[in-house]
Amino acid sequence: MSNELTIDQGWKVWWKLTRPHTLTASFAPVLLGTMIAFTETSIHWGLFVAMLLASLLIQAATNMFNEYYDFTRGLDNEKSVGIGGAIVRNGVKPKTVMIIALAFYAISVLLGIYICIETSWTLAVVGAISMAIGYFYTGGPYPIAYTPFGELFSGFFMGMLIVLIAYFIQTGHVSTFAILLSVPSMLLVAAIMLANNIRDLKGDKENGRKTLAILVGRQKAITILASFFFLSYIWILVLVLAQEVTPWALLIVLSIAKPLQAIRIFKAIDNPLEVNGAMKNTALTNTLFVILLALGLLISNLI
């Protein structure tokens, strides 16, 4: 146990440092990409596990980079709102946070080498770019998360690209079908980022950030968030009507209460200390939607 922490804190602080409730943003796309692949081939479970672990580690490391750089730039303090706090509230040294993040990256590189050996070294380039984006999301002189493009980058790299890589390592190619089914994942991961920025709008503005929520204002940002949710559900409905997927894909409807609750909370409450329910429901929307879609594909393939 590190002497940075008291005995009663223990492993819970280190677990919190990974921001575990955000890790579904990595798990769900890997599952979806694998289930899309399962519609046309058998699953290589070793590759699935390696991809899943690598994605989770990169996501956790990205969260730690965010923790580290928000602290070193003076954006995090004891009164900050959000899911961070290992440095400012639990006494973990910034250097320790960075070391753990880089260690996670190192492990993910080893997993990536295994995946490349089994599939294609082209993925090494894709993986390197993804890891660079993970670092520069909050690191470097011009962090992506501090610009209006945070939703775009997080949605594409964490939502769509992870789905397509998970699909590619099983099939050896990328199909139009896989791309179409990855769109809702992209929108819902972007929604998680946007919800975070809506909550943090006031503090981010005071600290000089220029996020999308700041650029368009709170009310329009909530409208954009609602449109991300709406388009995700409509997208799958259109694919069902076009007979690209079976009606089993409409299992996603079982998750629809979560985005409705998220929007309702954001519209009713503007105090950042009281909108954690909206944040939770936005993350749950992504998790439940993608898992239900993957389940629908699995059922369609088995019957």
DSSP codes joined into one string, 252-296? GGGGTHHHHHHHHHHHH---GGG-HHHHHHHHHHHHHHHHHHHHH
Lowest mean pLDDT among 71-80, 186-195, 251-260: 71-80
What's the CATH class of domain 11-302?
Answer: mainly alpha
- For 20-29, b/e burial (b = at least 16 CB within 10 A) is eebbbbbbbb
- CA 105 to the chain's CA centroid: 16
Instruction: Give the pLDDT band (50/70/90) at residue 84.
Output: low
Number of other CB atoms surrounding residue 120 within 10 Å: 14
Query: H or E element: which one contains 101?
Result: helix 94-118
State residue 292 phi and psi, 5-degree precision.
Answer: -65, -40
- Answer whether 188's CB lies under 8 Å from 228's CB: yes
In the predicted model, is pLDDT for residue 266 greater than 90? yes
The per-residue pLDDT for range 24-50, each reduced to its tens digit, is 778 899 999 999 999 999 999 999 999
**Amino acid identity, position 18:** T
For the segment 68-86, the average pLDDT, to the nearest whole number, is 61
Q: What is the pLDDT of residue 20?
A: 74
State residue 189 phi and psi, 5-degree precision.
Answer: -70, -40
Q: What is the pLDDT of residue 119?
A: 96
For the segment 78-107, the average pLDDT, to the nearest whole number, is 72
CA nearest 162: which of 141, 144, 193, 188? 188
Q: What is the pLDDT of residue 275?
A: 92
Query: H or E element: which one contains 170?
Result: helix 161-171
- Could you tell me the two tokens for 291? 């898992």
In the predicted model, is pLDDT for residue 6 greater than 60? no
- Could you tell me the two tokens for 117? 């050996």
For the segment 263-280, the average pLDDT, to the nearest whole number, is 92
Indicate the domain borders of the chain.
Answer: 11-302
CA atoms within 13 A on the CB side of 117: 8
The per-residue pLDDT for range 132-150, each reduced to its tens digit, is 988 888 787 888 988 999 9
Q: How high does pLDDT run on average in the chain?
A: 88
- Could you tell me the two tokens for 182? 């990855």
Which residue, chain included where needed, has tokens 């008291």? 6
- Could you tell me the two tokens for 243? 């007979």
Q: What is the pLDDT of residue 8?
A: 41
